[in-house]
Amino acid sequence: IRLNDKFGYTPTQGHQVWDWQEALAQHTDAGYVGTGQLTVTYLTDAHLACARQIQADMLAAGCDSATIDAVGNVVGRYESDSYPRTSDERQSPISSKTLLTGSHYDTVRNGGKYDGRLGIYVPLACVQALKAEGKRLPYALEVVAFAEEEGQRYKATFLGSGALTGDFDPAWLDQTDADGISMRDAMAKAGLDVNAIGAIRRNPADYQGFVEVHIEQGPVLNALDIPLGVVTSINASVRYVGEITGMASHAGTTPMGQRRDAAAAVAELILLVEHCAAQDGDSVGTVGQLQVPNGSINVVPGRCTFSLDLRAPSDAQRDALEAKILTGLRLICERRGLHHSLTRTMQASAAPSASAWQQRWEAAVTALGVPLHRMPSGAGHDAMKLHTILPQAMLFVRGLNSGISHNPLESTTSDDMQLAVDAFRHLLHQLAHA
Ligand code: HGY
Ligand code: MN
Ligand code: MN
Ligand code: MN
């Protein structure tokens, strides 16, 4: 089946053999619950349905265990060949030097079905193949479906992978969503034990490294007509939410020169971001959200809230862009007699791939006869969080439709996804014989 024809085929129920691509397609059905759009935000019903589906898929693929941890990550393990078989030895510690892999299962609102979850199902396809061949690796493979990467419902980007690296911020618990529900309450409702979050932290000494497969989310591989790409570094990023306040006034009687229009200031900010990022050439800047709270058609906006997302290949370039934008915002507000407040909600350093792991992906891609293309990642990924405790490298899979992403048009082909599985299997095999 070509997954992007998903809606053209009816999954056969009661499949004897677990078909990973079908599972990926069916799994996303859970994410459409209620809205008809794929919106899997943290701890919503769709999110919990997806977690249960992934847990079932991990076991169907052949994982020895699949558990949901205290922040909602779904953790599947395929134990090493040194793993004791008898049940009473099941409590043995993690076999030395587990290989960690995975990606996130939350989505942006009305997102695509491959962003994140492709990096969960490709390793599960490898587990399935190993199980079918009755093979074990000399190391355990731990596949984690991270619960929250996008920071949609709460401003808690990389919450899932951050719990593994010890970066869960307890302040997140008191954040409330658009309906005023705190993360703490959402966790309690989902049956998650807030007190067990600390235990999620991984000891880096137990792991050899982290690898992540992800759809490219950009046009490069599509334009080159190459199915796989090896990531050299993940761009540095910083995110803010802000508010500009001026004075609401009558749209008909307030002369243009006497307005304190908050939305006009944000409009100026957007053009400044566009100009400064474009000037760098390889920086990007986005104001993705802009709201006039309680705005009216005939009222000059007295308040305007907005988001800001700035990224660049290096921390220094990101910082320079950030400084320009923050200074520009201050000058815009001074000139217009407005006040502004900004809260930084995320900052992530550039995450260069560990050369040994990048080379493993390069060897795998080359072994398949796929032309080797090295490339930076403009998108952020859980790998940049794991980067803080483990050596990491990523493999990109070509997207269709010029790699559009964070959009229902996001798609790839069965063949390209299978190539990613073949590359991953090659990496696992090479590691087993290293
Ligand atoms: O925004 C990003 O770069 C990622 O998709 N979370
Ligand atoms: Mn994303
Ligand atoms: Mn992603
Ligand atoms: Mn061999």
Nearby residues of 29 by Cβ (< 8 Å), 6 or more positions away:
none
Atom of ligand 1 nearest to the CA of 150: 6
The residue whose CA has the least distance to atom 6 of ligand 1 is: 150
| pLDDT tens column, 115-127 | 999 999 999 999 9
Asked if 45 contacts 34 with a C-beta cutoff of 8 angstroms, the reply is: yes
Pocket test for ligand 1, best of 42, 105, 113, 406 (most atoms within 8 A of CB): 406
Atom of ligand 1 nearest to the CA of 237: 3
Kindly give the distance from the C-alpha atom of residue 381 to the centroid of ligand 2, in angstroms, as a whole number.
8
C-beta 382 within 6 A of ligand 1: no
Q: Which ligand is nearest to the CA of 111?
A: 2
**10: pLDDT strictly greater than 60:** no
C-beta 116 within 6 A of ligand 1: no
| pLDDT tens column, 290-316 | 999 999 999 999 999 999 999 999 999
Pocket test for ligand 1, best of 38, 105, 150 (most atoms within 8 A of CB): 150
What pLDDT does 84 receive? 57
What pLDDT does 86 receive? 53
Q: What percentage of residues in the chain have a pLDDT greater than 90?
A: 84
Q: ipTM, 2 decimals?
A: 0.89
C-beta 379 within 6 A of ligand 1: yes
| pLDDT tens column, 350-385 | 999 999 999 999 999 999 999 999 999 999 999 999
Atom of ligand 1 nearest to the CA of 378: 3
Tell me the sheet residues that pair with 286: 309
Query: Which residues in 386-413 are b (16+ Cβ under 10 Å) and which e?
Result: bbbbbbbbbbbbbbbeebbbbeeebbbb
| pLDDT tens column, 209-231 | 999 999 999 999 999 999 999 99
**113: pLDDT strictly greater than 70:** yes
Kindly give the distance from the C-alpha atom of residue 101 to the centroid of ligand 4, in angstroms, as a whole number.
21
Mean pLDDT, residues 135-140 taken together? 91
| pLDDT tens column, 39-60 | 999 999 989 999 999 999 999 9
Least confident of 6-15, 271-280, 320-329, 379-388: 6-15
Token pair of 284 as six digits: 């990007």
C-beta 380 within 6 A of ligand 1: yes
Residue 117 CA to residue 83 CA, distance in Å, equals 28
Kindly give the distance from the C-alpha atom of residue 214 to the centroid of ligand 3, in angstroms, as a whole number.
7
What pLDDT does 20 receive? 85
**159: pLDDT strictly greater than 50:** yes
Kindly give the distance from the C-alpha atom of residue 428 to the centroid of ligand 4, in angstroms, as a whole number.
10
| Model pTM score | 0.86
What pLDDT does 99 receive? 97
What pLDDT does 11 receive? 35
What pLDDT does 426 receive? 95
Atom of ligand 1 nearest to the CA of 104: 6
Mean pLDDT, residues 195-209 taken together? 96
Residue 374 CA to residue 170 CA, distance in Å, equals 37
Q: Which ligand is nearest to the CA of 434?
A: 4
Mean of pLDDT over the chain = 91
The residue whose CA has the least distance to atom 4 of ligand 1 is: 380
Asked if 208 contacts 98 with a C-beta cutoff of 8 angstroms, the reply is: yes
Kindly give the distance from the C-alpha atom of residue 203 to the centroid of ligand 1, in angstroms, as a whole number.
26
Which of 72, 57, 49, 97 has its CA nearest to residue 162?
72
What pLDDT does 87 receive? 52
| pLDDT tens column, 246-266 | 999 999 999 999 999 999 999
C-beta 148 within 6 A of ligand 1: no
Nearby residues of 109 by Cβ (< 8 Å), 6 or more positions away:
37, 39, 41, 152
Kindly give the distance from the C-alpha atom of residue 357 to the centroid of ligand 1, in angstroms, as a whole number.
22
